[in-house]
Chains A and B, each alone.
Chain A
Amino acid sequence: GQQLNQSPQSMFIQEGEDVSMNCTSSSIFNTWLWYKQDPGEGPVLLIALYKAGELTSNGRLTAQFGITRKDSFLNISASIPSDVGIYFCAGRANTNAGKSTFGDGTTLTVKP
Chain B
Amino acid sequence: DGGITQSPKYLFRKEGQNVTLSCEQNLNHDAMYWYRQDPGQGLRLIYYSQIVNDFQKGDIAEGYSVSREKKESFPLTVTSAQKNPTAFYLCAGGQQGTGELFFGEGSRLTVL
Q: Which residues of A contact B (CB under 8 A)?
A: 1, 4, 6, 31, 33, 35, 40-45, 48, 88, 90, 92, 97-100, 102-105
As a 0/1 sequence over residues 19 to 34 of chain B, the CB contacts with chain A under 8 angstroms (1 = contact) are 0000000000001000
B23 CB → nearest A CB, Å: 11
A92, B42: Cβ atoms under 8 Å? no
B6 neighbours in A (Cβ, 8 Å): 42
The binding surface of chain A is classed by DSSP as strand
A40, B106: Cβ atoms under 8 Å? yes
Q: Which of A6, A90, A97, A102 has the most CB of B within 10 A?
A: A102
B103, A98: Cβ atoms under 8 Å? no
Assuming A42-B92, A98-B48, A102-B43, what are 9 further A-B pairs, CB within 8 angstroms? A40-B106, A42-B90, A45-B101, A45-B102, A90-B99, A98-B50, A99-B45, A102-B42, A105-B42
Number of A-B residue pairs with CB-CB distance less than 8 Å in the complex they form:
64
B42, A104: Cβ atoms under 8 Å? yes
CA distance A32 to B50 in the complex (A): 20
A104, B41: Cβ atoms under 8 Å? yes
B96 neighbours in A (Cβ, 8 Å): 98
B106, A42: Cβ atoms under 8 Å? yes
A65 CB → nearest B CB, Å: 12
Q: Which residues of B contact A (CB under 8 A)?
A: 4, 6, 31, 35, 40-45, 48, 50, 56, 58-59, 90, 92, 94, 96, 98-106, 108
B94, A1: Cβ atoms under 8 Å? no
B94 neighbours in A (Cβ, 8 Å): 98
Q: Which residue from chain B places its CB closest to the CB of A3 in the assembled complex?
A: B42
A98 CB → nearest B CB, Å: 5
A88, B102: Cβ atoms under 8 Å? no
B35 neighbours in A (Cβ, 8 Å): 102
The residue from A4, A31, A41 contacting B99, defined by CB atoms under 8 A apart: A31
CA distance A42 to B44 in the complex (A): 14
A92 CB → nearest B CB, Å: 4
A41 neighbours in B (Cβ, 8 Å): 105-106
